Structure 1
Amino acid sequence: MSRTGRHPRHRGGPGLPGGDAVAHARQLAETFDDVLGGGPSRRSPRPVVSASWARSLAAHVDPDRRTPPVVYAPDELGDVRSAHPLSEVMPLLRGALATAADEAAHLVLVTDAAGCVLWREGSVGLLGRADRVGLFPGTDWSEAAIGTNAMGTTLAVDAPVQIHSAEHLVRTYHAWTCVAAPVHDPDTGRLLGAVDLSGPLQTMHPLLAQLVSTTARLAEAHLRARMAEADQRLLLRHAAHLAGLRGAAGALVTPTGRVLAADPDGGWPVRVDLAGATGHAVLPDGREVRVEPLAEGHLLVSPRPARAVRRTPVLSLRFTGGSPGAVLDGRAVPLTLRAAEVLTALVLHPEGLTADQLGCLLYGDDGNTTTVRVQVRRLRALVGGDVLGTRPYRLTAAVDSDFAQVRRALREGRPAAALRGCAGPLLPRSEVAEVRQLREELAAGLRRAVLGSPDIDLLHAYVAHPLGEEDLAAHDRLLALLPDGDPRSPRVALRAARLRAE
């Protein structure tokens, strides 16, 4: 939050900045020296960079002396690669990125979820230069190991990231530009690793960010297709096990516990936790089932049939801090800003809204019921009629939203929980009055709760947060509370001086 109490505008996103790459690098170098050197700064780093610098410095990364640690020796990499799920998509990644990387004098790098580089390909003329700065397979490029960089930061924020020149925390990499995107397991949703393009700063191109993000999505689509093939094989080979249960209830599940088929069909969860299961497992409804291992998965057997019940869908919304994200029963749902605004309004009005009411909330006096109905129809096509009801429009799923959690934590006097649950301003690009009002309410409430707390660690976390990084009063209060000799004092003082000079 700025000193005037307004939210700072987000300076850039995951895309590459346009214009002259070298001139832009000089501007970034000035900002780097000013912010880390303590002098007044005419510009601030982008929020994603500022937050990454804070995490990296908290991990004791030295901007002047750092090289990435080697995690795997060359003779270990073969086994590590073959065991990693992304080995299946390496031919696709090579086909999608290798030509572009060679023409643009870039390297293709693929990491695991911990940030360790497992594969490197691309411009032959760049390999020696990359070797000299530790940019080779087997090295750890997580933020905690080597500070702000596209690979480590994209894994930290779970979103596409571009880091150019002096946006890297370690000076060694100020001559480099890189863009990366995360890749997820379509079965469990967990991070598998990151895809990255890195090269000399002069080779920066605005389309590389889009290319890397698209390639990451293609990799996920390929893994999803492989998963569907494995599901089909399991069903074809073991469907007879369900038919032979003789009245008992049963389900075929994947090795990860995802339920593929059941008899009877109702009453089974989407996923069963089989971690540590040795012959038996307990379902969410309390039933104990027998677990029989199969060649490709498991057969679950319940001595008493499951009662066919209609399962309530679970919709998880993450709307603070950047692009809106939604997960429905473990499946990511792509959302436009307008769809996120509709969902926000419906979360705030669980009793439901008519088309007129929803149109008024979204568009004010210019609200048009025809436009609203089109928006809702598109949203229902994404989430299904069992999630978004009509007459009135309402959410019929079990909804978990970050902004509702933050609001509840603030009302219950739990500022630390509120700060943990808030990734930044609510839908920062939205101009809808209902959203804007809630965005201001959450930011003001969080600021008031943090500044009114004697918890130094909470206040320190707040000034490193997107909502507090430009709050001069918060920095001054933190300086007043920090004890003499606290190692955090110098950086907080430097940041406060920069804010005061603006």
Structure 2
Amino acid sequence: MNNTSGRLADRRRRIESLRRGERSAGENIVVVGMDIAGSWQRSREAVSETCSAAPLDDTAPDWTGSAYGQALVACVDELETVAIESGMVAAVSDADGRLLWTGCSRSMRNRAERVHFVPGGRWDERSVGTNALALALRHRRPASVFSAEHFMPAVQDWVCYAAPVRDTISGEVMGVVDLSTTWNRHSPLALHAVERFAERVSQALQGVSQAPVLRLRMLGTPQASMHGKLLALSPRQMEILCLLALHPEGMDLERLHAAIYGDRTVGVATLKTEVSQLRERLGGAIGSRPYRLLVNWQADFMDLEQALNAGRVEAALAGYRGDFLPRTESPLLRTWRDCLESRLSDAIFRIDDPDLLLTHLGQSPEAVDAVERLVELLPGDHPVRARLLQTRDSER
């Protein structure tokens, strides 16, 4: 046995010792790190010890027509070649951890099929426990998982490397690129390779013609950009864009006026002027009769709503950057904001993962609902709980 093989075998034995409970919780963190140790704890609560393969999702829609799908199609041939030549299996997932595509060497094909590491397989943490793809999604950064660090015994002979694919403009994680092989073929270079491929997919995504032309960032500080350039718009024009995004079928003048002004005595001529100026700044991208957006667009508040609709609470919290149009006087937009905030708060109070809540609180320190839920979840002697109670009481 050469030095490298010996080191890998020794590393595996130490991890297996942890899994058998022969070491303390503190030693877990020293040997495998915080990310793996935390994932083990969450996995024990979510995944059956008898789990031997990922659940399959046969209802997934065709992904090849989306902008992300087109970017993948442009890149997967090269990724498959690397997998075949290196004795690995390659995979690309969506933002939920569902595999969209796989490419496999002969030596890994049967292994991959047995554990459902195939298109439609769900490799999020709640489905199969600790694995590199799930960690890359959760922490939004590259990850590797070696041998018995995997929670599911059926893949503890594997080593896996994964990196998130980001939309270069919005920063949204679209999915993950993964390369896996047997544990005794571990190489640090594989993580660098998977990072490069993830970056390549991100670049291809940026070049896809169906990428949104107009982007609306209305959570926190309102911003709108066209072709990547910020637009200088009035608060009223921001409201018009939000209303047209919420009503892609279009709005006539009377309905748009009521949605913005409600019972306030503002003439329709004022609204016509605002729309005319907005149309000019968008290069004619607003249609008339009815008013509607004529370009591909993407809006963070709509992404948040869709994540909540799909039960993707982690994605919803990751995309939340503050209140939706906090200063708007539009009765329709204020009602929509109140409903969105109520749904988000309900979702927060159903979360059982303190780490997820702490991450959200780090991004949104004013999130009172997250504080209240953490106070409910954390043990009475937890130091963070005491600080949260002090902060909560001082703000009352």
The answer to whether TM tops 0.5 is yes
| 2:71–2:201 CA contact under 8 A, matched in 1 | yes
Q: Which runs of 5+ in 2 are unaligned?
A: 219-223, 262-270, 289-318, 322-353, 366-370, 386-396
RMSD over aligned Cα atoms? 4.9
For residues 418-457 of structure 1, the C-alpha deviation after alignment (integer angstroms, 9 at most, x for no partner) is 8354669xxxxxxxxxxxxxxxxx9xxxxxxx9xx99451
The question of whether the paired residues in 2 share the 8 Å contact of 1:104 and 1:203 is answered with no
**Which residue pairs with 1:459 in the alignment?**
379
Which of 87, 106, 112 does residue 105 from structure 1 map onto?
87
The aligned residue for residue 53 of structure 2 is 67
Q: Contact 2:52 / 2:115 at 8 angstroms: preserved in 1?
A: no
Q: 1:249 matched to which residue of 2? A: none
Q: In the alignment, residue 120 of structure 1 is paired with which amino acid? A: T
Verify: 1:204 aligned to 2:170, yes or no.
no
Correspondence for 1:158 among 137, 140, 150 = 140
Which residue is 1:236 aligned to?
none
Distance 2:240 2:189 in 1: 39
* Percent identical residues: 23
**Counterpart Cα distance in 2 of 1:461 and 1:32:** 27
- Are 1:275 and 2:246 counterparts? yes
Cα distance, 1:84 vs structure 2? 3.9
Contact kept in structure 2, 1:187 and 1:227, CA below 8 Å:
no
Distance 1:460 1:57 in 2: 22
Name the count of aligned residue pairs.
Answer: 285
- Mapping 1:98-247, distance limit 5 Å: 98-227=80-209, 231=213
Amino acid at match of 1:459: P
Q: Write the deviation string for residues 392-442 of structure 1: whole angstroms up to 9, x where unpaired.
A: xxxxxxxxxxxxxxxxxxxxxxx9998354669xxxxxxxxxxxxxxxxx9
Distance 1:422 1:217 in 2: 29
SS state at 2:179 partner: strand
Deviations 1:81-119 (A, max 9, x none): 323433212344335433332232111101111111110
Partner of 1:56: 43
Find the residue that maps to 1:172 and give its secondary structure.
Answer: helix
Answer whether contact 1:105 1:203 (CA < 8 A) is retained.
Answer: no
Partner of 1:94: 76
- Offset of 1:220 from its aligned partner? 1.0
Q: Deviations over 1:8-36 (max 9, x none)?
A: xxxxxxxxx998333222221112222xx
Aligned residue identity for 1:260 = M
Query: Are the counterparts in 2 of residues 108 and 196 from structure 1 also a CA contact under 8 Å?
Result: yes
Equivalences for 1:74-473 in 2 at 5 Å? 80-227=62-209, 231=213, 253=214, 259-260=225-226, 266-267=233-234, 272-273=241-242, 274-280=245-251, 289=275, 298-299=285-286, 419-421=358-360, 455=375, 457-459=377-379
Instruction: Give the structure with higher Rg (CA).
Output: 1
Equivalent residue, structure 2, for 1:28 = 15
Give the C-alpha shift of residue 271 in structure 1.
11
Which residue does 2:331 correspond to in 1? none
What SS class does the counterpart of residue 140 from structure 1 fall into?
coil
Deviation for aligned residue 1:68: 1.1
Matched to 2:14, the amino acid is Q
**TM-score in terms of structure 1 length:** 0.47
Which secondary structure does the structure 2 equivalent of 1:20 belong to? helix
Task: Provide the rounded CA distance (Å) in 2 between the counterparts of 1:69 and 1:57.
Answer: 17
> CA offset at residue 122 of structure 1?
2.7
- Write the distance in 2 (CA, Å) between the matches of 1:275 and 1:30: 55
Tell me the distance in 2 between the aligned counterparts of 1:270 and 1:217.
35
Q: Which has the higher contact order (CA 8 A, sep 6+)?
A: 1
| Shift of residue 161, structure 1, vs aligned partner | 1.0
2:240 & 2:198 partners in 1: Cα distance? 25
Is the 2:149–2:156 Cα contact (8 Å) retained in structure 1?
Answer: yes
- Secondary structure, aligned partner of 1:138: coil
Measured in 2, the distance between the counterparts of 1:277 and 1:460 equals: 49
Specify the code of the residue in structure 1 equivalent to 2:378. Answer: L
How far does residue 277 in structure 1 lie from its aligned partner after superposition?
Answer: 4.7
Classify the secondary structure of the residue corresponding to 1:189: coil
CA deviations 1:439-481 (Å, max 9, x no partner) are xxx9xxxxxxx9xx99451239969xxx89xxxxxxxxxxxxx
The structure carrying a bigger helix percent of its residues is: 2
Question: TM-score when scaled to structure 2?
Answer: 0.58
Is residue 178–residue 197 contact of structure 1 (8 Å, CA) maintained in 2? Answer: yes
Structure 2 contact 67–208 (Cα < 8 Å) conserved: no
Letter of the 2:358 counterpart: L
Contact 1:31 1:41 in 2 (8 A): no
Shift of residue 213, structure 1, vs aligned partner: 1.1
User: 1:143 deviation in Å?
Assistant: 0.6
Structure 1 gaps of 5+ residues are: 1-16, 232-252, 302-326, 330-414, 425-441, 443-449, 469-502
Partners of 1:149 and 1:91 lie apart in 2 by 25
**Counterpart of 1:184 in structure 2: which amino acid?**
R
Gap change, CA 1:271 and 1:186, over 3 Å in 2:
farther
Structure 1 residues 117 and 417: CA distance shift in structure 2, 3 A = closer
Deviations 1:164-208 (A, max 9, x none): 111111111110110111112335433211110011111211111
SS at match of 2:208: helix
Q: Could you list the per-position Cα deviations for residues 101-155 of structure 1 after superposition, in whole angstroms to 9, with x for gaps in the alignment?
A: 2232111101111111110103123111211122111111111111111112211
